């Protein structure tokens, strides 16, 4: 067996690779939780630690670049764990011949995004490899944050009747990058990645309601997150297609590319799970924030199909929304 692109797609094969290789040899109490961040106690409080690598192609795209993406992605992983982002590390693998001017532009973008997110890059590393060995530039970032609440959001708190809210349109990042890469559009127009750090939005919601669970739907999109939540559970999820916000441009390009926008990556979206009683308050608060104006209640947890995700289509029919199987969107983050 050899590693395929689909092993990095965030779907079923990624899960299998983690379980059959990484957990086989590295398993411990923290790693086995497989959350966006590992939670741990230390003198002075409760903390979250996360790491991620970025290999997006192309390096620049409407709405962002690999630098903004690296900071935003790590900030959002910490935020999804209910942790206030504090510090970042940044490691660069640079291909020989890479333009210094381009590198400076990317690092400047990281600086602006870190300032926006209120986080500091306090350590890092640089490696240079031979021409043709790194496709320009790869970035790894790790982040540490302090838990904002004593009891962090957890999937174990979810129960039937709880509602699912997303803070805006889905598929923006994945479809934008793919359209640019495939040169489908000469002018992307309003099509832009949603790449953004979400801590301020998350903090506003945490201050107002009891958030049971959060997850940022990056690789594998909403479909991957929803299936991960109910995997092995005694309840399932029902999603309502008409309630899921998707831009017309994204929907149209998804059809051209043959990609379901619910499987496409997002880099500025968060899935929130709250009780039915608090859902409207959470929705109103999210819509009052610039990064949540298109927020929508998109589904609920039910006893109808344990361990499954059902999608009620615009025509009223139902189908199972599967965990992504292959790699539809390589090099997307």
* Pair of tokens at residue 110: 């990281």
Global pTM reads 0.94
How confident is the model over 121-179, as pLDDT tens digits?
999 999 999 999 999 999 999 999 999 987 889 999 999 999 999 999 999 999 999 98
User: Under a CB-based contact definition with an 8 Å cutoff, are residues 95 and 54 in contact?
Assistant: no
Which helix (H) or strand (E) covers residue 257, if one does? helix 248-257
Question: Per mean pLDDT, which of 142-151, 284-293, 312-321 is the most reliable?
Answer: 284-293
In eight-state DSSP terms, residue 324 is P
What is the chain's Cα-based Rg?
19
Q: Give residue 186's pLDDT.
A: 66
**CA 287 – CA 201 distance, rounded (Å):** 10
Residue 8's φ and ψ, nearest 5 degrees, are -110, 15
Domains of the chain and CATH, by start: 35-147 (3.30.1330.10), 155-320 (3.90.650.10)
């Amino acid at each position: 067996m050899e590693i395929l692109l689909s092993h990095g797609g965030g779907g079923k094969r990624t899960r299998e690779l983690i379980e059959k290789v990484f957990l086989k040899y590295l398993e411990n109490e923290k790693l086995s939780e497989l959350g966006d961040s590992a939670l741990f106690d230390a003198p002075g409080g409760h903390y979250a630690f996360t790491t991620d690598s970025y290999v997006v192609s192309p390096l620049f795209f409407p709405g962002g670049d690999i630098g903004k993406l690296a900071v935003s992605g790590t900030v959002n992983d910490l935020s999804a764990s209910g942790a206030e982002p504090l510090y970042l590390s940044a490691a660069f693998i640079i291909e020989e011949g890479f333009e210094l001017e381009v590198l400076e532009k990317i690092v400047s973008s990281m600086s602006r995004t870190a300032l926006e997110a209120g986080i500091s890059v306090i350590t890092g590393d640089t490696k240079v490899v031979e021409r043709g060995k790194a496709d320009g530039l790869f970035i790894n970032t790790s982040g540490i944050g302090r838990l904002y609440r004593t009891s962090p959001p957890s999937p174990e708190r979810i129960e039937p009747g709880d509602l699912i809210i997303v803070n805006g349109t889905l598929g923006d990042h994945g479809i934008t990058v793919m359209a640019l890469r495939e040169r489908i559009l000469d002018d992307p127009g309003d099509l832009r990645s949603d790449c953004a750090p979400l801590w301020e939005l998350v903090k506003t919601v945490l201050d107002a309601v009891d958030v049971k669970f959060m997850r940022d739907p990056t690789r594998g999109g909403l479909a991957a997150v929803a299936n991960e939540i109910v995997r092995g559970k005694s309840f399932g999820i029902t999603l309502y297609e008409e309630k899921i916000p998707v831009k017309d441009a994204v929907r149209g390009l998804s059809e051209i590319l043959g990609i379901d926008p619910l499987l496409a990556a997002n880099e500025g979206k968060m899935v929130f799970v709250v009780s039915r009683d608090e859902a409207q308050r959470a929705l109103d608060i999210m819509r009052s924030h610039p990064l949540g104006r298109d927020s929508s209640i998109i589904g609920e947890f039910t006893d109808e199909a344990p361990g499954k995700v059902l999608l009620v289509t615009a025509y009223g029919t139902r189908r199972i929304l599967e965990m992504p199987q292959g790699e539809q969107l390589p090099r997307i983050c």
